[in-house]
Every structure is written in C-alpha cells, then in structure tokens.
Structure 1
Amino acid sequence: MVFWVPLIAYAAVILLTALSFARQPAPRRLIDLARALLRYINLFPVGLMGLWGALGHIVFPAQAAAAIGWATSPFQTEVGLANLGMGLAGVIAAFWRDWGFRAAVAVMMAGFLGGAGINHMVEIAKTGNLAAGNAGPILYTDLLTPLLLVILLALTYRSDRAARP
C-alpha cells in the first residue's frame, strides 16, 4: 500500500482536475486550472494521505514502521496525530476557498513533508534504506506536494486576495 497510495492520490488529482477544468465554461483560464489543482492536491495528497498516515502510525504502527524500514517507536503516535491534523487541514483547505488558510496549510506541509523528504534522502545516503516507505513514491510526493502547493498559491495570490471583501 505504501507504494500505491501516493500514486493513486496523484492519479486522482490529475483525473479530477481534468474533469473540473473541462466542465469550466469557456473561456478556460490558467487561473481556473491552478485553483482546481490546488483544491485536489489539498484533498488527496495532503488531506486523504494525511489521514491514511494517521491511521497507519496510530492503528498499525508495526506495519507503518516496517514499510519505512524503521523500528517501531512510541513517537509514531505523535507522528500519527500530526498526520491527523494535517489531513484534516488539507480536507478543509480543499473545500474552503480562503487563500490565507491554504497558505498556512502549504507552510505546514513544506515543513513536515519537505523535511520528511529530505530525511528520506539522508537515510538513503547514510544507511542505504530503500524500503518503499522511504525511497518509493512517498519520497517524491513528500518533495513534490509542498513545492506544487507553493507554486499554485503564488499563481493564485493576486486574484484570490483581490476577491476578498
């Protein structure tokens, strides 16, 4: 599962963004595409993957640790609870169109996922840990998700901030 969930999450982003953009009335604008991508990245890679991470670390800690190539640790409960908060924030950000809230979620994800992605690379270099939860698709999505959030927020900044009362 740890191999497939990130791939499925991004497949859902691409599919739902394409459907959403295709349903937009003409003329379709780049800003509409950016907003749809931002929504579905918050919903799937941030929201649902965060909830999935919470479930794994809290309910199935031995399996989650093994997938990462680590020993089980009591800290997994704390990581799971952090994942729970981030997952809930991502789901809210997907449906609540406040730019500032989405920016706060992106900053949180840059710290957590970006840091996790860097840590995965350090683990690979130091220990050769090529477990699916350390060196598989999760490594790439840990780096890609916050990067895309920041880029999409930059693209939508002017129009979304101007729309506020």
Structure 2
Amino acid sequence: MLVLLCTGLSVRRTQTRTAGFVLERLIAYILLFPVGLVGLWAALGHIVFAAQAAASIGWAPSPFQFEVGVANLGIGVAGLIGVWYRNWGYRLAVAVMTGGFLGGAAVGHVVQIVSTGNLAAGNAGPILYTDVLTPLSLLVLLALTVRSARS
C-alpha cells in the first residue's frame, strides 16, 4: 500500500505524468519498501531476534537463520541502492536476486503449509504474499520499461 500511496503522491506532485515516469516511481518505491526496508527488517529479525523470528514462522531457532539474515541484509542494501541508482541493468539484477530468494522462500512456505499444516503468521500470512508479489511486480515493471532503458 505504501508503494501505491507514494507513487500516487509523487505523480501528483509533478508535471511529468508519462507512463515511463509512473513505472519508474513504482519500481523505485518497490525497491525502497518491500525490498530495501523490509529486507533490512528481516535481517534484523533473523540476526538479532532469531528466536522470535523463528517462532513467528512456526519453526525452532536454527543457526541457518544467521545466513538468512545476512542474505536479507544484502538484498535490503541492494534494494536501497537501486532506489537512487536508476540503472535498468542494476535494478534487473536486484529483481532477479530478490526473485530467487523470495520465490524460494515462498515455495518453502507453501511446502510447510501443505506438508505440516504450518499456518503461523510468519509462514502463511502476509509474508507469503509479499514473497511472491514483490519480485513478480519488479520483473513485470522492468519488462515494461526495457524499451526505454535501451534508448
């Protein structure tokens, strides 16, 4: 919702209301919020508050959470850089990396739901939707802007 709100405010504030501008703002705000800030939040959770993060997912704490946390840290920092570094290729690389990590996490969540009935909020709640929608949205928006990136 923040992505749409900020994009709307950004479009409203400017005289430039082209489709390219709107798509660029959508990409930037996806990189800022669900990739950048949520990535840093997830890193903090898995690194500093590992027991609470595991409990919210319906898992026992694990040493692998540190690895998940530093992966989230890298994705979060890359997302924040992509907000201001408007290079299409860089943003595509962030989207692919985000898609691999979050897409894999989404598959893991679904497997846990089906095989164990794990409906914990951190497994079957909003995170499942963002794990799918965030990289998918980025990849679709980048595909829509590939022509303008080439020129």
Q: TM-score range by the shorter chain?
A: over 0.9
Does 2:41 match 1:24?
no
Give the alignment's Cα RMSD to 1 decimal.
0.8
**Which one of 60, 81, 85 corresponds to residue 70 of structure 2?**
81
Q: Give the paired residue count.
A: 151
- Counterpart-to-counterpart distance in 1, 2:117 and 2:18: 45
For 2:66 and 2:105, the matched residues in 1 are separated by 16
Quote the Cα distance in structure 2 between the aligned partners of 1:154 and 1:24: 24
1:16-50: per-residue Cα shift (whole Å, max 9, x none)? 11011112215x22221111100000000000000
AA matched with 1:19: L
Quote how far apart the aligned CAs of 1:105 are.
Answer: 0.2
| Deviation readout 1:45-82 (Å, 9 max, x if unpaired) | 00000000000000000000000000100010111000
Identity of aligned residues (%): 64
- Where do 4+ consecutive residues of structure 1 move more than 6 Å? none
* Residues 110-142 of structure 1 deviation map (CA, whole Å, 9 limit, x = unaligned): 100011111111110000000000000100000
The equivalent of 2:94 in structure 1 is 105
Partner of 2:26: 37
Report the Cα distance in structure 2 between the residues aligned to 1:127 and 1:29, rounded to whole angstroms.
48
Amino acid across the alignment from 1:37: L
1:49 and 2:38 equivalent?
A: yes
Please tell me the residue identity of whatever aligns with 1:153: L
1:1-165 equivalences under 5 Å are: 11-26=1-16, 28-162=17-151
Work out the CA distance in 2 between the residues paired with 1:161 and 1:74.
44
Structure 1 regions of 5+ residues with no counterpart?
1-10
TM-score (norm 1): 0.89
What is the rounded CA distance, in whole Å, between the counterparts of 1:129 and 1:13 in structure 2? 29
Aligned counterparts of 1:135 and 1:95: Cα–Cα separation in 2? 32
Stretch deviating more after TM superposition (16-25 or 88-97): 16-25
Match of 1:5 in 2: none
